[in-house]
Amino acid sequence: MPERLRPPARGNAKAVNAPDLAEALVALRHRVDALRLNLASPGAEAARAAQAELVAQVDDYLLPRLRQIDAPLLAVVGGSTGAGKSTLVNSLVGDNVTKAGWLRPTTRGPVLVCNPADERWFAEDRILPELSRTTGDGSRGGVGQSGGTLHVVPHARVPGGLALLDAPDIDSVVTQNRQLAGQLLAAADLWIFATTAARYADAVPWELLRQAQQRSTALAVVLNRVPPEGVRDISTHLATMLADNGLRRASLFVIPETTLPGEQDRLPDAAVAPLRGWLARLAGDADARAEVIRTTLDGALRSMRQRVSAVAREVDDQLAAAALLRDEADQFYADAAREVDDGVRSGTVLRGEVLARWQEFVGTGELTRSLEQRIGRLRDRVAAFVTGRPAPTEAVEQALESSLESLVRAAADGAAERTVDAWRVRPAGRALLGERTRVLGHSSDGFRPTLEREVRAWQGRVLELVAQEGGHKRTRARLATFGTNATGLVAMLAVFSSTGGLTGVELLVAGGTTAASHKVLEAVFGDSAVRELAALARDDLLERVEDLLATERRRFDDLVDAASPDVDAAIGLRAALDGFEKARRASRALARPRSTGVDVAR
């Protein structure tokens, strides 16, 4: 018999230093809760489950228990569906307080039965605050039998100081059931694991039992429905399995198979008497109860370190994956900015339509032939052209606009496409792209109009620069000869023709453009001012392009940001864990437990 309840751990109550520990735990809980771990990675799902479990256990169990160490002991009856958990609870109480049944799974929502004097501890949201409360008869399985509620049944036959909770099955086909069962077990001061002779070696229960071992959770195992002739062999085998898994100290109760004609019939008193007696003794001995509570509490608190560290490692992984994705986008968009820069400097923008319009504007045949000797005449021609017609620069400007826009758009499209291609080969990137792959593979819808606006704004800026430069007395008169618009246009052309890069006839013509525009500008402003003006205009243009590309790149950055942890998340998490560990070790209330007081009974 498992009656050996150890003497109490005296003197601890005075030394409770829980407030600091609770505070540190709250800080840690918030850190864990705030983590975004939504990048697709091999460990992401497990880490998210661990994250949810950690937060839930702090809220459901650790904080309430730290704050009220004297609250009644909560024994959660958990196990596989049909193991007879509900039947066991009813049999222990000696009344039908929860619904048992042939339908699998029967129990959907937890039913908690306690002494009426203890009801206040459970009726409010002290523990399991997310579950709303219902009360009344739980045996009909109406109210209280849904996942989101805790059905509280006060019953005089339950000894004070101890509550029994009938949980949904741990290996349910119903996901919600399974998760809830795990959550309830994490909120238990004592686990009463119910299994059957047919199913005690199943994998899922053993995963949870090992977890109980790792967390030093106080544990009793009920082996139900054992054929009388197999009691000895089966219970020995299970006891060996428990010992092999480090659970030698768990109390084992064996209940032989009996005939139950009705689905809500209870087990014979004699079959549950040992467990009932054990629980009654635990309930009656405040010190033994406190020791069970402290053992489980201490084990759960100690388990935080390893569990949070595992989550922190996943945070590291996700941060590394996020950095990689951001770097790739960054790199391709930097390439795009360089592409535009090169295009601007090499004169690419001046090809085709722009040249044609420029030739129309100044008369290129003349221009190329007479450039050297007759620059003066060219200047006059430009001047005449400008003063002769109200908006003569428009055609060249439009051609320039569209050529420049094509250059920038091609760069932006290229960067988007290359980023998508690079992301697609990474699982995290692929998952982020998802259905957006096509949309993200080219520049955004808003890009074109914004680009057009920016190019026009840039042209305005060039005219401003020209006008500013013209503010100097010496140049004002000369500027007047040409007109600000024409000079501005020539300044724009100068921006795109400062270096070579064209070939053949184009070189000649564009060279002519370069020389012509420079000559015109020099004539107006003087040599150094021309270069300065062109450089200023170019810088302004490239700055605008970089801003535009940054906005485009942000589409990718935003996806990463929305899924990955904050950049300082790992540091913050580890600092919070350190703070918590310090508080835990300093808390003498949680001095090393000497015993759970529960031993294997056969």
Which residues in this chain contact ligand GTP in the complex, by CB under 6 A?
81-87, 100-102, 104-107, 168-169, 224-225, 257-260, 263, 265, 267
Partner touching 503 among Mg ion, ligand GTP, none, CB below 5 to 8 Å by kind: none
Residues with Cβ < 8 Å from 242, sequence gap 6 or more? 209, 221, 248, 250, 252, 600
Partner touching 144 among Mg ion, ligand GTP, none, CB below 5 to 8 Å by kind: none
Residue 17 vs 258, nearer CB to Mg ion: 258
The 3-state secondary structure of 522-567, one letter per residue = HHHHCHHHHHHHHHHHHHHHHHHHHHHHHHHHHHHHHHHHHHCCCC
CB of 125 to ligand GTP, least distance (A): 24
Residue 64 vs 105, nearer CB to Mg ion: 105
Residue 82 vs 138, nearer CB to ligand GTP: 82
Other CB atoms within a 10 A radius of the CB of residue 159 amount to: 18
CB of 83 to ligand GTP, least distance (A): 4
Residue 107 vs 251, nearer CB to Mg ion: 107
Residue found by looking up tokens 């007696």 in the block: 277
Residue 106 vs 403, nearer CB to ligand GTP: 106
CB of 178 to ligand GTP, least distance (A): 11
Through-space distance between the first and last CA atoms of the chain, rounded to whole angstroms: 7
CB of 110 to ligand GTP, least distance (A): 10
Residue found by looking up tokens 């990048």 in the block: 39
Partner touching 101 among Mg ion, ligand GTP, none, CB below 5 to 8 Å by kind: ligand GTP
Partner touching 564 among ligand GTP, Mg ion, none, CB below 5 to 8 Å by kind: none
Residues with Cβ < 8 Å from 503, sequence gap 6 or more? none
504 torsion bin: left (phi>0), alpha (psi -120 to 50), beta (else): left
Residue 75 vs 400, nearer CB to ligand GTP: 75
Let me know: does 199 contact 172? Beta carbons within 8 Å. Answer: no
Residue 86 vs 497, nearer CB to Mg ion: 86
How many Å apart are CA 80 and CA 77, to the nearest integer? 10
Looking at residue 401, its amino acid is: E
Partner touching 81 among Mg ion, ligand GTP, none, CB below 5 to 8 Å by kind: ligand GTP
How many Å apart are CA 166 and CA 60, to the nearest integer? 16
Residue 100 vs 312, nearer CB to ligand GTP: 100
Residue 110 vs 429, nearer CB to ligand GTP: 110
Give residues in contact with Mg ion (CB under 5 A).
85-86, 106-107
* The dihedral formed by the CA atoms of 154, 157, 160 and 165, expressed in degrees to the nearest 10: -60
CB of 589 to ligand GTP, least distance (A): 36
How many Å apart are CA 302 and CA 591, to the nearest integer? 12
Per-state percent for the chain, helix, strand, coil, to nearest 5: 65, 10, 30
Other CB atoms within a 10 A radius of the CB of residue 363 amount to: 14
Residue 272 vs 407, nearer CB to ligand GTP: 272
> Which candidate, 402, 416, 404, 403, places its Cα nearest to that of 445?
416
Partner touching 405 among ligand GTP, Mg ion, none, CB below 5 to 8 Å by kind: none
Q: How far is CA 22 from CA 16, 56, 294, 296, 583, in A?
A: 11, 15, 15, 16, 9
- What is the chain's length? 602
Partner touching 267 among Mg ion, ligand GTP, none, CB below 5 to 8 Å by kind: ligand GTP
Residue 190 vs 479, nearer CB to ligand GTP: 190
CB of 166 to ligand GTP, least distance (A): 7
CB of 174 to ligand GTP, least distance (A): 10
Environment class of 471 (CB within 10 Å of its CB; exposed 0-12, middle 13-18, buried 19+): exposed
Let me know: does 502 contact 352? Beta carbons within 8 Å. Answer: no
Residue 91 vs 498, nearer CB to Mg ion: 91
Partner touching 546 among ligand GTP, Mg ion, none, CB below 5 to 8 Å by kind: none
Residue 178 vs 442, nearer CB to Mg ion: 178
CB of 149 to ligand GTP, least distance (A): 15
CB of 73 to ligand GTP, least distance (A): 21
Residue 78 vs 565, nearer CB to ligand GTP: 78
CB of 76 to ligand GTP, least distance (A): 13
Helices (H), 169-202: 175-186
CB of 99 to ligand GTP, least distance (A): 7
CB of 129 to Mg ion, least distance (A): 23
Two tokens, residue 435: 């259905």
Partner touching 82 among Mg ion, ligand GTP, none, CB below 5 to 8 Å by kind: ligand GTP
Residue 8 DSSP one-character state: P
CB of 108 to ligand GTP, least distance (A): 8
CB of 560 to ligand GTP, least distance (A): 43
The string of DSSP letters for 358-423 reads HHHHHTHHHHHHHTTTTHHHHHHHHHHHHHHSSSTTHHHHHHHHHHHHHHHHHHHHHHHHHHHHHH
> Before 154, cis peptide (omega within 30)?
no
Q: Give the pairing of strands 73-79 and 162-166.
A: parallel
